[in-house]
Amino acid sequence: MYEREALKVIEKIDKTFKVLLVTGPRQVGKTTLLLSIKPDNMEYVTLDDEVLRKQAKEDPKLFLEEHPAPLLIDEAQYAPNLFSYIKIMVDKSDKNGMYWLTGSQQFHLMKNVSESLAGRVGIVNLNSFMYAEIKKNNNKVSFNPLDLKKTEKINVNELFEVIFKGGMPALYKDDNIDRNIFFQGYLDTYISRDVRELTEIGNTMLFKKFIVSVASRTSEQLNYSELANDAGISVPTAQSWMSILTSSGLVYLLEPYMNSELKRITHMPKIIFMDTGLAAFLAGWESARELQLSSSAGHYLETYVISEIIKDYNARGIRPNISYYRDKDKKEIDLIIYKNNTLYPFEIKKTASPNKTMIKNFELLSKTKKNIGTGGIICLYDELIHLDEKNYIIPISSVINAKEL
C-alpha cells in the first residue's frame, strides 16, 4: 500500500468543510484514496455509470434524495446540475464531511464549484505519485530553502528510471503492466472522454500531434506559434488546446517572475509536464538510459524537480508561489520560490560538478528591491554543502526525498 501525502490535508478538510473535492488527472488515485478512508456509513456512487449519470443530470434533486449524505460521488463533473442541489442540502445541515466529490476535469468543476459551493468546499489537487511516495518515505518534509535537509543520495541511474517511468499508481501496483500499453490506453481514454467533455476538438489526430509537441517541449518556454505549426492548427486553437491540458492537470504553466523594476523580462510561461513518464512516452523515448544520455536529459530533470515541488504543495493544500526568470538576453534562473517577501533562486542542473558561475544570474534579482534569500544549485552532487556564504549545492534527494532524521 502506498501512503499518499494528501491524506493529511484531506482529513483536515473533512473536519472543516461540508464538501470535499479531490480533483486531478485520470488514474492518479483519487477514488482509490477516498475509498480507503471513507466512513462505513458513506455510500459510494460513480457517474461513470450511465444510468446514475442520466439520473444525476436530469433529476439531481431525486438523485440526492435516493443517495443521502454522507455520500462519495465519483466523476462529479458529469452532472454539473448536482452542485446547486448539494448546496441546498448542506445548507440545511450543520455537519461537516457530508459530500466527497472527485473529478478529472478541473475547468468545469472549478466553474461550478465557484458558482454553487463557495465557502462550503475544500479542494485538493491530487497528482501522480511523488518520489517519496514511491519510495514509501512516510516522514517526508517539504523542500524549504530556510531549512535544507541532508538526506540519502539518489543514484542517478535509478533517478532516471523513475523519471522515465513516471508516477502513475497503476505502474507501481502491478509490475506486469506494460508501460507503453498503459500510456497508449491512457492517452486514448483521456482524449475520448475528458477532452471531448471539455470541447469539440474535431480532429483527434491533430490533438495527438499537439500533445506530443507539448511533451517534447517540457521545461521550455511556451511558444504557441511553434506548437500550432507542429500540429497543423491555428494559434487560437493551440491556445484553446493548451487550456485543456492545464485544466485537466496534465500540464502546469510556470509563470515568469514579474517586477516593475525589471524591464526586459519575458512574458512567456514555461511548460512543465506533470508526469515525466507520460511526457517521455509521448515524446518517443524508448528507455530510461536513452533519455538519460540525451540532450533532453536536463529538461526532463528540471521538469521532474519542479513538478515534484508542485505536487508537494498540492498534496498539502497550498497554492504554489513559484516562478522562473528569463530576460531578452536569455539570462535565466530556473526556479524562484517566493515567500515572506523574499525571493529564493535556484538552478537545476544535470551535473555532479556544480560551480559558482552557474548562479551568476542570481544577482539580476537585486534590481527587484526584494529580499534575496537562500538559493543554490539543485544537482547530482552527493552532499548538501555551502557554495558560498548565501547559496548551497543541493542534492536532488534533499528536494524530492527529504525527511526528518
DSSP string, 260-286: TT-SSB----EEEES-HHHHHHHTT--
Dump the DSSP string for 13-74.
HHHH-SEEEEE-STTSSHHHHHHHH--TT-EEEETTSHHHHHHHHH-HHHHHHHSPSSEEEE
pLDDT at 260: 64
Instruction: Compute the Cα dihedral for 45, 50, 51, 52 and give only its sign.
Output: positive
pLDDT at 107: 53
Phi, psi (5° rounding) for residue 253? Answer: -100, 110
Main-chain phi, psi angles of 103, to 5 degrees:
-165, 145
From CA 373, how far away is CA 390, in angstroms rounded? 8
Judging by beta carbons within 10 Å of its beta carbon (0-12, 13-18, 19+), is residue 65 exposed, middle or buried? exposed
DSSP secondary structure of 150-166: ------HHHHHHHHHH-
Using CB atoms within 10 A of its CB, is residue 56 exposed (0-12), middle (13-18) or buried (19+)? buried
Cβ neighbors of 92 (< 8 A, separation 6 or more) are none
* Placement of cell 484553446 in the chain: 240
Q: Of 134, 157, 380, 182, nearest to 287 (Cα)?
A: 157
| CA dihedral of residues 181, 182, 185, 187 (deg, nearest 10) | -110
User: In sequence order, what E strands does 94-237 have?
Assistant: 99-103, 121-125
- Looking at residue 80, what is its pLDDT? 85
Cell representation of residue 209: 500531434
Indicate the domain borders of the chain.
7-125, 134-400
Query: Domain 7-125 has what CATH class?
Result: alpha beta
pTM of the complete model? 0.94
For residue 105, the model assigns a pLDDT of 66
- Give the pLDDT of residue 377: 98
The DSSP bridge partners found for residue 43 are 71
pLDDT the model gives residue 344: 97
Phi first, then psi: give them for residue 394, nearest 5 degrees.
Answer: -120, 110
Element (H, E) at 324: strand 322-326
pLDDT of residue 198: 57
d(CA 291, CA 280): 8
Nearest C-alpha neighbor of 261 from the set 177, 172, 343, 365: 365
* Residue 389: Cβ within 10 Å count: 5
What is the block-wise mean pLDDT of the chain (405 residues), using blocks of 10 residues? 92 95 92 96 95 94 96 91 92 95 72 77 94 92 93 94 97 92 90 66 83 97 97 93 90 89 78 98 97 98 98 93 92 94 96 96 90 96 94 97 82
- DSSP conformational letter for 177: S
